[in-house]
Amino acid sequence: MNSIGETQLKIIKGVLIVNSILGLISFFLVKPPMPFLTGLLFGTIISLLNFRLLSLTMKKAVEMQPHQAQVYATTRYMIRYFIIGMVLYISIKAEYIHVLGTVLGIITLKFVILKKELFNNKQYFKNIFKRKEAK
Amino acid sequence: MENTNFIMRFLEWLMTFDRRALILAASAIGAGFAMIAGIGPGVGQGYAAGKGAEAVSYNPKSSKQATMIMLLGAAVAETSGILSLVIALIMLFANPLVNMSGAAIVVMASAIGAGLSMIAGIGPGIGQGYAAGKGTEMVGKRPKHQSAIVRTMFLGQAVAQTTGIYAMIIALILMFANPLVALL
């Protein structure tokens, strides 16, 4: 597998592609499209920045003592949680942002990670369902 | 005879309030309950980070691999916390229950129930963090098996997430398409 930077880049590219496709689809399906697209853009930017913040936290945490790392990672999680809370609050309050778009923008990152790291090898799943007698 | 049943007296006292005030109060309790799920990812990510630090101290050469797996695992572990936050904020700032018709006590209980259901988010949060921690630990010990470990870890995390999503579906049904109100 690749280095941390390459993996991050891969995930970020994936998020941008998936959210562009979502934006394109919602442009035709959601009426009016602008609040939803603004929300999607807002959510995407925040989720990518949060991912970057998480990577910086983890890089630092691995160099600490295990108990120190636990406390550090948990407090940093609370900060990120607060940031996401603020973003969602603004999306709900502001009329020009659709909160569903923001939520979608934030959540797609998790699905992209699962897609890139879990569903990237068909053979693995074929082996799960392969009958043992066939060997 | 004076009614000495405490529950009945409590319910009668509740009914002295305005319907809207009751639902709003219940929504506040529900939002608070929903936020309890935020504990899960916190504990899980802390555990993962602890295991990452352990793995790197055992085998400093695997530092980059361990960090990367921890990063991806921790990012997935956050999901249920975000979902609970969404439900809590909807209850506080875009509450659909206030304008719902039907008996006040049913709507009120639905608000509390929606919040309570989100507590289930603790499970996926801790479980996914635990998976991330163990994945990181094992990559530290056996870096050669990295791709198999990572795939198994994510498979476990994806399965663990399902209960959190079920909880959110129940919370959303209680808030936006409440079937209980129609049963009265």
* CB contact burial B116-151 (16+ within 10 A = b; e otherwise): bbbbbbbbbbbbbbbbbbbbbbbbbeebeebeebbb
Is the pLDDT at B39 greater than 60, yes or no?
A: yes
- B183, exposed or middle or buried, with CB in 10 Å at 0-12, 13-18, 19+? exposed
Average pLDDT of the segment spanning B140-158: 85
Residue type for position A25: I
Reported confidence tier of residue B15, pLDDT bands at 50, 70, 90: confident
Across the A:B interface, residue pairs with CB atoms under 8 Å apart total: 137
pLDDT confidence of residue A95: 87
The per-residue pLDDT for A2 is 58
Cβ-based burial of B102 (10 A; exposed 0-12, middle 13-18, buried ≥19): middle
* pTM for the whole structure: 0.84
| Residue percentage of chain B with pLDDT more than 90 | 43
Within the 30-69 window of chain A, which residues sit less than 8 Å (CB to CB) from chain B? 51, 54-55, 57-59, 61-69
Contacts of A80 in chain B (CB under 8 A): 78
Residue A17 pLDDT grade (very low, low, confident, very high; cuts 50, 70, 90): very high
- pLDDT computed for residue B112 by the predictor: 95
In chain B the domains, ranked by start, together with CATH numbers, are 24-176 (1.20.120.610)
Dihedral, B140, B142, B148, B152 alpha carbons, nearest 10: -50
**Quick one: pLDDT at residue B3?**
65
CB contact under 8 Å between A110 and B75, yes or no, is yes
CA separation, residue A97 to residues A80, A88, B86 (Å): 21, 10, 15
pLDDT at A1 over 80: no
Asked if A105 and A43 count as a contact pair (C-beta separation under 8 A), the reply is: yes
Residue B177 forms contact with A (CB below 8 Å): no
Q: What are the domain boundaries of chain A?
A: 4-134
